[in-house]
Amino acid sequence: MTYDPTGHQLLTPIDREAPVRVQRLRQLGFGDRPDPAFDEFAHKLAEVTGAPYSMVNFIDEERQFFAGLHTPAGTHTGTHSGRDMGATAGGGEVRRFMARDHGYCPHVVVRRKALVLEDVCDYPRFAGNPVVDEIGIRSYLGAPLIDRTGIALGTICVVDTQPRPWGRAGLETIKSLAAELLVQIHRREEGSI
């Protein structure tokens, strides 16, 4: 991982597992289209955590794709807009794609550990991320989706435009929900064999 020239923002970490992840996502049939089951799971994430935005996020070499997405207004574009996530703190439209260098999920995938940011502005290495200024994100809670092959497929996460005291309870909740979604993914795979 490297820092930008000003020494403030931690740039998106190098993801050596990305090619293998892409192969696994293709094998599972994930990563390029919305999925009603993942949208439903994202809605559950929002309900359980009380967060306005929640995602089931698969990450490839170039971008992030929200196969499951919940927003306060329930508005988001379809599968192949090819544009970055474009919400505002005022509740603008949210798209299913986001650049890999935006947000915190790529850090979770590479670290293979859950991440709790109660107020991203309290963490200089994360405060400079484009989602803070462009979208208005102030808090993040995410966990990796590490499947039975050992590959981190992506994440589940919730975000808010206000600081949130997620605490240890939030950390345990997001990890538990990630495990629950992995069970669903594995059942799906077994059903398609």
Q: What is the pLDDT of residues 103-136, one digit of tens each?
A: 899 999 999 999 999 999 998 888 888 888 888 8
Residues facing 98 on adjacent strands: 64
Report phi then psi at 99, rounded to 5.
-60, 150
Q: What distances in angstroms separate CA 185 from CA 35, 63, 177, 180, one per listed residue?
A: 12, 21, 12, 9
Given pLDDT bands bounded at 50, 70 and 90, which one contains residue 92? very low
- Domain residue ranges in the chain: 18-192
Compute the C-alpha angle 29/34/35, nearest 5°.
70
pLDDT beyond 90 at 37: yes
Taking the C-alpha atoms of residue 69 and residue 57, their distance in angstroms, rounded to an integer, is 8
What is the pTM assigned to this prediction?
Answer: 0.84
Neighbours of 120 (CB within 10 A): 21
Instruction: Dump pLDDT digits (tens) for 55-86.
Output: 999 999 999 999 999 999 865 544 333 333 44
Q: What is the dihedral of CA 70, 71, 75, 80, to 10 degrees?
A: -50
Look at residue 13 in the predicted model and tell me its pLDDT.
86
Look at residue 93 in the predicted model and tell me its pLDDT.
54
For 156, the enclosing helix (H) or strand (E) is: strand 152-160
**What strand order describes the sheet that includes 115-117?**
97-99, 63-70, 53-59, 152-160, 139-146, 115-117
pLDDT beyond 90 at 27: yes
Longest dimension (CA), the chain: 51
Given pLDDT bands bounded at 50, 70 and 90, which one contains residue 12? confident
What would the mean pLDDT of 40-46 be, rounded to a whole number? 97
Given pLDDT bands bounded at 50, 70 and 90, which one contains residue 89? very low
pLDDT beyond 60 at 193: no
Taking the C-alpha atoms of residue 53 and residue 46, their distance in angstroms, rounded to an integer, is 7
Instruction: Dump pLDDT digits (tens) for 139-186.
Output: 999 999 999 999 999 999 999 999 999 999 999 999 999 999 999 999
Look at residue 133 in the predicted model and tell me its pLDDT.
82
Q: Which CATH number is 18-192 given?
A: 3.30.450.40
Q: Which residues are CB-contacts of 120 (< 8 A; sequence separation ≥ 6)? A: 104, 126, 127, 129, 132, 137, 138, 139, 140
Given pLDDT bands bounded at 50, 70 and 90, which one contains residue 4? very low
Q: How many residues does the chain have?
A: 193
Given pLDDT bands bounded at 50, 70 and 90, which one contains residue 31? confident
